[in-house]
Amino acid sequence: MITTTDLTKVYRTRDREITALDGVNLHVREGEVFGVVGQSGAGKSSLIRCVNLLERPTSGTVTVDGQDLTALAGGGNRASTDLRRARSRIGMVFQHFNLLSSRTVQGNVELPLEILGLTGRERSRKALELLDLVGLADKARSYPAQLSGGQKQRVGIARALAGEPKVLLSDEATSALDPETTRSVLQLLRDLNRQLGLTVLLITHEMDVVKAVCDSAALMKEGRVVESGTVAELLSTQGSELARELFPVGGRPSSEGRTVVDVTFHGETTTEPVISQLSRTYNVDISILGAAMDTVGGKQVGRMRIELPGSFEDNVVPIGYLREQGLTVDVADVAAAPEDATDATEAVDTTGAEDTVDKGADGGTDGEAAPAAGQQTARAEEVAK
Ligand SMILES: Nc1ncnc2c1ncn2[C@@H]1O[C@H](COP(=O)(O)OP(=O)(O)OP(=O)(O)O)[C@@H](O)[C@H]1O
Ligand SMILES: [Mg+2]
């Protein structure tokens, strides 16, 4: 539905050039919610502004719903009629709402309908219908100043839907909102995506947003897309940074001489039976040090950090068993917690933390020494299969 090919954007200021986009190839499928994440300055806003030609890309192409927008003349405020028409099929939601304070809620939603040339009666009917869709039917005559942030954003979304777009672009639409309001606005975007078959490209810096609503995600760094795919694809990609950030697991081994592994569940295998089968089959005690799991489409996905007694060599077979179940297994190079530790450098998801599953007989604990102490971040390391 949205495809960018080798998209570049270079901003030229008086004394220097800034490459905001450096060959971005992005593919957003019809009907999906696609999230773009990345640090400040990574080029996320530049990307979204190039997708609807608010900024003209320096090179590369943007295709939306089969139409090459970059082939149409103009850009920014000097768009040609063709470009304006194409753009009216792309809804845009902004972080700071951009509502006109002198107009009522209904008046704000009618604005793009005026530009489209609808009659007064048609405008009014359509605006009320859209306000109903976003749950604000009773606020039509209010002014923006009388609304909460979440309500203002709903007006922004209703206005973005006025041109009956197939695509909705959203740049940090929820970052000015509190967590609960964020959830309800995201739920609205998700509902619209399902009800109207709307394709949504949203930019965020919050991983929770991606987890809550996105089918797919891309990570941008320094003007490039460095990872992209469906959440399941990302989870099954060895070493995916996005997967790690979406499902962060922490937790240190209880003592030295243990093997810590991060197991990624892609949704094909159910968590609990696998862990307890492993414990029973090899007669080992398994401790869950941390877990970040979610149910997506009725399947359990996420990551879990577990601890096995003994060195890696002692655990080659159990680890092989996990891999045979189709799971991705990374051996985490993480030191045991110091005795007096109240160390909070790692965020430990408490879901299932410290649980011990199906205790078997004591496994060998006389393995190798734990990796170098003092290491604070868990470095997941792939070990040859
Ligand atoms: N109009 C502009 N003129 C010059 N440089 C710009 C312009 N807009 C953006 N940039 C630069 O381009 C780079 C990418 O900016 P962009 O706004 O796309 O980042 P972002 O990922 O949206 O960041 P944030 O998360 O802070 O919103 C930055 O270095 C920024 O300073
Ligand atoms: Mg931005």
Structure tokens at 161: 């839907």
Is 80 exceeded by the pLDDT of residue 380? no
> Can you give the pLDDT at residue 359?
36
The DSSP H or E segment spanning 381 is strand 379-381
Read off φ and ψ for residue 20, nearest 5 degrees. -85, -35
Structure tokens at 110: 């009618």
State which amino acid sits at residue 294.
D
Please give the average per-residue pLDDT across 263-275, as a whole number.
83
Q: Which residue has the tokens 């862990």?
A: 275
Best probe residue, ligand 1, of 18, 19, 172 (max atoms within 8 Å of C-beta): 18
* Sign of the dihedral through C-alpha 222, 32, 3, 176: negative
Instruction: Considering every ligand atom shown, identify the ligand nearest to the alpha carbon of residue 44 and give its number.
Output: 1
Model confidence pTM above 0.85: no
Q: What does each C-alpha distance from 268 to 71, 326, 336 come to in angstroms?
A: 43, 8, 31
Is 70 exceeded by the pLDDT of residue 139? yes
Task: Indicate the pLDDT class of residue 106, thresholds 50, 70 and 90.
Answer: very high
Is 50 exceeded by the pLDDT of residue 228? yes
Q: Where are the alpha helices (DSSP H) in 269-353?
A: 271-282, 316-324
In the CATH scheme, what is the code of domain 247-381? 3.30.70.260
Q: Is the CB of 205 under 6 A from ligand 1?
A: yes
Residue that wins the pLDDT comparison between 369 and 188 = 188
Please give the average per-residue pLDDT across 205-220, as a whole number.
90
Q: Which CATH homologous superfamily contains domain 2-235?
A: P-loop containing nucleotide triphosphate hydrolases (3.40.50.300)
Task: Indicate the pLDDT class of residue 8, thresholds 50, 70 and 90.
Answer: very high
In the reported structure, the alpha carbon of residue 300 is separated from the centroid of ligand 1 by a whole-number distance in angstroms of 37
CB-based contacts of 46, cutoff 8 Å, min separation 6: 9, 20, 21, 55, 223
> Can you give the pLDDT at residue 58?
96
Identify which of 383, 217, 354 has the alpha carbon closest to the alpha carbon of residue 291. Answer: 354
Q: What is the pLDDT of residues 305-352, one digit of tens each?
A: 999 999 999 999 999 999 998 888 988 888 877 665 444 444 444 444
Q: Are 69 and 86 in contact (CB under 8 A)?
A: yes
| CA atoms of 240 and 233, how far apart (whole Å) | 10
Residue that wins the pLDDT comparison between 268 and 57 = 57
Question: End-to-end CA distance of the chain, in Å?
Answer: 39
> Can you give the pLDDT at residue 365?
37
Mean pLDDT of the chain: 85
Chain centroid offset of residue 375 CA = 28
Domain with CATH 3.30.70.260 in the chain: 247-381
How many Cβ atoms are within 10 Å of 300's Cβ, its own excluded?
Answer: 17
Q: What is the pLDDT of residues 59-102, one digit of tens each?
A: 999 999 999 999 987 766 777 888 888 888 899 998 888 899 99
Is 80 exceeded by the pLDDT of residue 133? yes
* Partners of 147 in the β-ladder: none
Which of 24-38, 64-78, 254-268, 351-365 is predicted most confidently? 24-38
How many Cβ atoms are within 10 Å of 214's Cβ, its own excluded?
Answer: 25
Q: Is the CB of 13 under 6 A from ligand 1?
A: yes
State which amino acid sits at residue 187.
Q
Structure tokens at 101: 């304070």
Q: Is the CB of 8 under 6 A from ligand 1?
A: no
| Strand ranges for the chain from DSSP E | 2-12, 17-28, 33-38, 59-64, 67-68, 90-93, 167-171, 199-203, 216-221, 224-230, 258-265, 286-296, 299-309, 328-333, 356-357, 379-381
Identify which of 75, 73, 382, 21 has the alpha carbon closest to the alpha carbon of residue 220. Answer: 21
The helix/strand/coil state of 313 is helix
The helix/strand/coil state of 160 is helix
Domain with CATH 3.40.50.300 in the chain: 2-235
> Can you give the pLDDT at residue 360?
36
Residue that wins the pLDDT comparison between 273 and 68 = 68
Q: Using CA positions, which residue lies closest to atom 27 of ligand 1?
A: 40
Q: Using CA positions, which residue lies closest to atom 12 of ligand 1?
A: 20
Identify which of 354, 351, 352, 343 has the alpha carbon closest to the alpha carbon of residue 378. Answer: 343
Q: Where are the alpha helices (DSSP H) in 116-261?
A: 120-133, 149-160, 179-196, 207-213, 231-235, 241-246
Please give the average per-residue pLDDT across 158-186, as a whole number.
92
Is 50 exceeded by the pLDDT of residue 377? no
Q: Is the CB of 94 under 6 A from ligand 1?
A: no
| CA atoms of 166 and 31, how far apart (whole Å) | 9
Please give the average per-residue pLDDT across 261-278, as a whole number.
85
